[in-house]
Chains A and B, each alone.
Chain A
């Protein structure tokens, strides 16, 4: 099959070359979002309220305290973390897939000076923005319930952005290999749902094997650690680690994984879109 003058195929894996044009893709999604903001706003607002009422007050009323704090105080920062996870993950899976596969929006954009890498990077930054938006709404809700205990709580905003970048990039890897939209049921049920329950969100991770597993493979655990620190300063101890070291590990974990999957997902998407 191979002919002698066949050029060496381009490297499989490259650092994406990105310019300011990334923001034009971001801006496209932002424009659509602002058009439908009322529809986007309502679920993000209602969901945390329901969780606080059902689990915080309802279930929490049956629980005397969790490691010295009321259950609702324990729960509130986890809701911020869950909003960060869901915002970008769903944006960069279902929503990006619709734009790529059904609407062919990416095809239209790459016929302009914007490159495939920039389209994907713009989608990822947009996913991170969705996480930030959702997390901020949850933050506002828990503020109204009087559950913010740390003056540095606004650090949630950058945390949400980088956490969102991580979850969005992981989601985008699934988008790059998804044969159809139903495929996303696998990561949703096999990755997101276990993470939702088992990342120290609704109960503290007390067994050592679960602590190790959660720290190793459930990114949400690290987001929960950090949102707890930022919202209530009350971090649940894991593996007997000093709080500062635990937070440093979580922060590093998020940055390393976000950067890694950011690059990997762009490469995988490029391969999918240009063959």
Chain B
């Protein structure tokens, strides 16, 4: 019977360790947040809106007195942004946008977005809305970096 008791305890200990290992591993991992990053080319050449979801973006820009007629999505990716090293987004005009997690407060992350020759933004991530930042010129239009919550 004594043997049974000790083997049971050993099994429990192993199970406990097995459960704790992922928790410890997660704590050691770098904290990261997911950000949906799109690169859109807005121009006055043509009237193409590709994909059609960008019609909403076009409408919002029109309301702000922009007269772009064409919106084309050049890239769309979900990025994992960490605090140690900046996550780079290659822009078609040759420059890179870099995203860095500045910190997390009360469950809300703040991400720094830096694009060469453009203002550097500190963006507080939220469940709704998007941030549209001009990212430079490209083939007669304007590149726009769109940050939004990751799509499900």
Q: Do A and B come from one complex?
A: no
Q: Tell me the B residues contacting A by CB distance below 8 Å.
A: none
Q: Tell me the A residues contacting B by CB distance below 8 Å.
A: none
